[in-house]
Structures are given as C-alpha cells and as structure tokens.
Structure 1
C-alpha cells in the first residue's frame, strides 16, 4: 500500500513540476513526455529505487490498463481539436496516411523485425503492428501549445492530430490479425478475424462510439436550451464521454480506443463550437494528468537488463524503425498527398511512438505470455520518446517563421 501512495505522490509531483515549467520547456529540446519517462527511470529500480514494480503484484497489467484509459481520453482530446469544417479539404492526406500509410509503416516495421531480430514472420508482423500507429499522447506535445500554434500551420497540426487519433484504433486490426493467426491457427484465426474482429471489434466500436457522442452532444444542446447546464458541468462532459465509450465498448468486446475517438468526432460535429472549445481545454488538462503518470510508470518498468541481453541487434532495430518506418512511408506518399518538401520532411520525422505502442505491446505480451515482445517494443518506444522529445521544439522552430504577424493557415 505504501508503494501505491509513493507512486501517486511522485506522479503528482511530476505533473505539477512540468506544469509550472511548461513555458520554459517549449524553448528547450525537452518534452514533457521525455521528462516524465526520465522521472520514472530515476525513481525506479535502475535509479533511486523509490518505486519497486516487483512488489505491485501485476505491474504490467496495471500499466496496460492505465495506458488504455489514457489513450481513450487522449483520442477524445484529439477529436475535439479538429475543426470539422476543415476535414473535407484535408481528407486526401488523412486517408492516405490512415490507409496506405499505416500499412506501409506496419510492413516496414515488421520487415525490420524479421531482418534485424530474426523473428518468425507472424511474430515480426505482430511486433510491427504494435509499432505502426502514431501516438496521440506524444504527438500532442508536438502539435499543441503556444509554440506549435505560432510556428506550425493549422492544417499540418490537424493532419497529424487526426492521424494519431484514428490510427490507434485502426491498429487494433493490425495487431489482432497476426495475434489470432498465432493463437488459433491460420484457418481458425482468419475466420475469427473476419467474423468477429472486423464487425465487432471495429465496425461496432465506430457505431457505438458515434451513437454515444451524438446522443451526448444532442443532450447537451437540449439541456443548454432549457438552461439546465452550468459552466462547470459542461467542462466535465467529454471526460465522462471518453470513459463511457471505453467502458461500453469493452462490455461488448469491441475496441474502446476506436469507440472513444468516434464518440469525440460525433460530439465535436454536433455540439456548439464555443462550448466544445471549452471542453477541449479541460480535455487536454485531463489528458496530461493521465499521460505523464503513465510514462512515469513506463520508466520504472523499462527492461534494461533484457535490452543488454538482446545486444546490438535490438539497438539497430530501434534506430532503423525510427529512421525508416515513417520517413520512407512519407517519401513514397508525399507526391500522392501533394505535400511540399518541408511538410513531407516534418511529417516523415514527427510520427512518434508512445502510449499506444505500450498498450498494444502489453496486450500481445499478455495474450501470448511472451515477455520478449515487451522488451523489443519498449526499446523502440523509449528511443522514440527520447529523440522525438529532443527534436520537437527545434523542429517547430525550423519549420518556419513565427505566424504571429497574422498569416493565414
């Protein structure tokens, strides 16, 4: 029990400390996710030893469920940041990233796992699937805040936000396909994928989430019309909607992350824009409240000794994933997406991995009872948080001049 309260206190101190220095951090090559991960390493078994995961009973289960809740709240925040009126104009770029782009990143990551780590093809596909999605939690530190609003065009931020929110749910398909083929055999696994994973895991999740989001938005508008809603009650609606979509989807064995994102999009499309923007602010604050503690927990559970045991092939794999998975994908897609060279380079580098990869890797680890999946995925995630965290602010400065002069996005 003492470890629980020590964990809560350290996580709270991390949130407070990073909140008090957020303005300074935007001017430094350091991101809040990177520092939160560093805090976890510092207070964990490899550092001061204040947090001892081995005494928690099931630390990986705790981290997996914390990551699931964090993702649900984060993708809701992403959905609320997206102006619905801009989506038609950006649909081409977004759909290419969510379709061919996601599949290419999966294939590249899987191919690197097969070549560098010597994994069997299905295991390589599974590891590649956990690393395919762009993380909304780490990406938020790049596309939100005063620096991003000042330096990055609105459309660029919308594209990255939309991609990071949607592909976390779509990655469910990529993870479940090799996982079912491994656990149930090729014929039975493929049959279950077609008859259950697609209709129940994905289609039902989208429909359920959209219905919950629409009902909540319409209910909120009606309550506002009757004068029943106070300012404080409006601010909590979307946080509760995140958890409602997550819980309802889990109850029907559907994907809660995709349901939460669909709920956010439906809510955003139907609610009054001014009220929605106020909800966005609280959603971002709540998302940070969950995100940073999850990364602290991740820092305490990083398998340093297992990384050393894997040796150079793991380091080569992690570097190759960061240097090839997304940059190569954007190099191939940029002409079709009609991206300028500057945007292609920016999008190609800033596709970080984080809480989404943590969640899917732990899900696969639990399903197969294969600890090595976590060892390999966590190495890539840690390196991504490090390198993307150090280059986020410089990248925004290098992207272009300040936009405060009144340029239109």
Structure 2
C-alpha cells in the first residue's frame, strides 16, 4: 500500500510544482514539463532512489499501459478544448495533407531509417517507425501553449500542431497494429483481422461512437447553460468526466 501512496504523492507533488513553476520553466529554460515528469519518474523509480516500484503494485506493464491511457485521454480532450469551434471542418484540407500524406510518409521514412541504420528485422523496423510517427499530444501541448508559444508561434500554426497531434494518435493505430499482427499471427489471419478489428471496429466505429458522445455532451452542456443548472466552475469536472467516459 505504501507504493500507492508514494505514487499519489509523486503525481500530486509533480503536478503542483509544474503548475506553480511551469511559466518560469518555459520562459527561462528549454526544458518541457513532460521531460521533467520523465526525469522525476526515473529518479523515484527502482533505477535510482527506489522510492517506487510498480512491480509491488501488480503487473507493472499493465499499470503503465492503463496510466498512459488515462493520461492520453485527458490530454486529447484538452487538445480538443483548446481548438476553436469548427476548426476541423474549416481546415479539413490541411488536416488531410498532414494526416493522409505526411503521416504515412513519416512512417515509411522512420521505418526505413531504423531498418537501414540499426539493421533490425524489417517488420520490427516498421513497428518502431509506426510508434515514433505520431506527434505526442502531451509533448505538443507543452510546445503550443503558454506565453512563449503565443509570442513566437502564429495562432494558425499552434492550432495545426494541436489538431494534428490529437487526430494522429488514433489514426496511427493501424500502422502500429499491422506489423504486430505480421509478427505474431499466421499470415492468413493478418489482413482480415487488421481490416475488421483494427480499421473498422477500433478506428471507424470508435471514432463514430466518440463523435456521438461528444455531440450529445455538447448539446447537454449548452442545455444546462441555458437552463442555469450548471456553474461555470463545473466545466473542468465535465471535461475530465468526458475524457474518462470515452476511454
């Protein structure tokens, strides 16, 4: 149980420090908040000070996976809230180029570089290329938000980076799953499973369900505002609840 308390104290303390000093860090140093969080995790982990060992809480791989999932869900909702209303529909051509052309090219180039430079097996290289291709929304948020970003990056560029980082995390999933299936399943099952389960179920159906949930939540939120049943301070709670619901 002490490991749980250490985890909560570490997360809470880190958020408190970053919340209080985030502006100073961005103004005075080139260090981003995600890097500080990574460094803090290494320091308190079993490799350095041994204050926290996730293995004592259970399956550390599963814990990290679920924690990353929750973090990513909250970050993506934050990205969506940061974008102007109707941004995707007004800038669909830009997003189509970034997601439909640039992202696949990045996947191909990254995979080839890993294959040629590191000499790893082809499908392992393709998998690594797919993993590093998507722009991380957490890291992107630290780049496009704050006073430094507002002074140095034009608003259209900040919005484009935010939108691309939000969309590509889901759209990059087929690129990651395909080499995994090739490496782990019989050849005759790869294409069928990839098309039906990954593309249709997880991407298309998942996006449709998320769109419906978002639409209903937006309509409900506007209704609550008109009726005066919700305080403005509840917006943070609603956003957090929505990010957890769509997981």
TM category (shorter chain) comes to: over 0.9
Q: Which residue of 2 aligns with 1:104?
A: 105
Q: Which residue of 1 aligns with 2:7?
A: 7
CA deviation map 1:212-240 (0-9, x unaligned): 11111111222222222222333321211
* CA shift for structure 1 position 208: 0.3
Residue 158 (str. 1) matches residue 155 (str. 2): no
For the residues of structure 2 that align with 1:130 and 1:169, how far apart are their CA atoms?
12
Contact conserved, 1:133 with 1:164, CA < 8 A, in 2? yes
Check 1:204–1:86 CA distance in 2 against 1; reply closer, same or farther (3 A cut).
Answer: closer
Structure 1 unaligned residues grouped into runs of 5+:
247-409
Q: Number of paired residues?
A: 246
* CA shift for structure 1 position 93: 2.7
3-state secondary structure, aligned to 1:21 = helix
For the residues of structure 2 that align with 1:195 and 1:231, how far apart are their CA atoms?
42
TM-score, L = length of structure 1: 0.57
Contact conserved, 2:54 with 2:63, CA < 8 A, in 1? no
If asked which structure has higher relative contact order (CA below 8 Å, sep 6+), I would say 1
For the residues of structure 2 that align with 1:114 and 1:97, how far apart are their CA atoms?
24
Alignment of 1:237-316 (within 5 A): 237-246=238-247
CA deviation map 1:69-100 (0-9, x unaligned): 11111111111111135545543332211111
For the residues of structure 1 that align with 2:95 and 2:213, how far apart are their CA atoms?
24
For the residues of structure 1 that align with 2:58 and 2:133, how far apart are their CA atoms?
30
TM-score, L = length of structure 2: 0.93
For the residues of structure 1 that align with 2:140 and 2:74, how far apart are their CA atoms?
14
Residue 210 (str. 1) matches residue 195 (str. 2): no
3-state secondary structure, aligned to 2:78 = helix
Contact conserved, 2:23 with 2:146, CA < 8 A, in 1? no
Residue 128 (str. 1) matches residue 123 (str. 2): no
For the residues of structure 1 that align with 2:209 and 2:112, how far apart are their CA atoms?
35
Contact conserved, 2:46 with 2:53, CA < 8 A, in 1? yes
Check 1:223–1:113 CA distance in 2 against 1; reply closer, same or farther (3 A cut).
Answer: same
3-state secondary structure, aligned to 1:47 = coil
Contact conserved, 1:142 with 1:148, CA < 8 A, in 2? yes
Contact conserved, 1:122 with 1:178, CA < 8 A, in 2? yes
Contact conserved, 1:90 with 1:155, CA < 8 A, in 2? no
For the residues of structure 2 that align with 1:29 and 1:233, how far apart are their CA atoms?
34
Contact conserved, 1:110 with 1:124, CA < 8 A, in 2? yes
Q: Which residue of 2 aligns with 1:63?
A: 64
Runs of 4+ in structure 1 displaced over 4 angstroms? 85-89
* CA shift for structure 1 position 185: 2.3
Q: Which residue of 2 aligns with 1:91?
A: 92
* CA shift for structure 1 position 34: 1.3
For the residues of structure 1 that align with 2:10 and 2:129, how far apart are their CA atoms?
33
For the residues of structure 2 that align with 1:113 and 1:29, how far apart are their CA atoms?
28
For the residues of structure 1 that align with 2:86 and 2:170, how far apart are their CA atoms?
23
